[in-house]
Amino acid sequence: MSKSIRVDDDTHAALASLKGDDETFDELLTRLLRERRENVRAGAGLWEGTDAADHARAKRREMKRGVDSR
Q: CA quadruple 44, 47, 52, 58: dihedral positive or negative? A: positive
Give the per-residue pLDDT at 46.
84
pLDDT below 50 — which residues of the chain? none
| 3 in any annotated domain | no
Number of domains in the chain: 1
| 2 in any annotated domain | no
| 29 in any annotated domain | yes
Domain residues for 48? Answer: 9-68
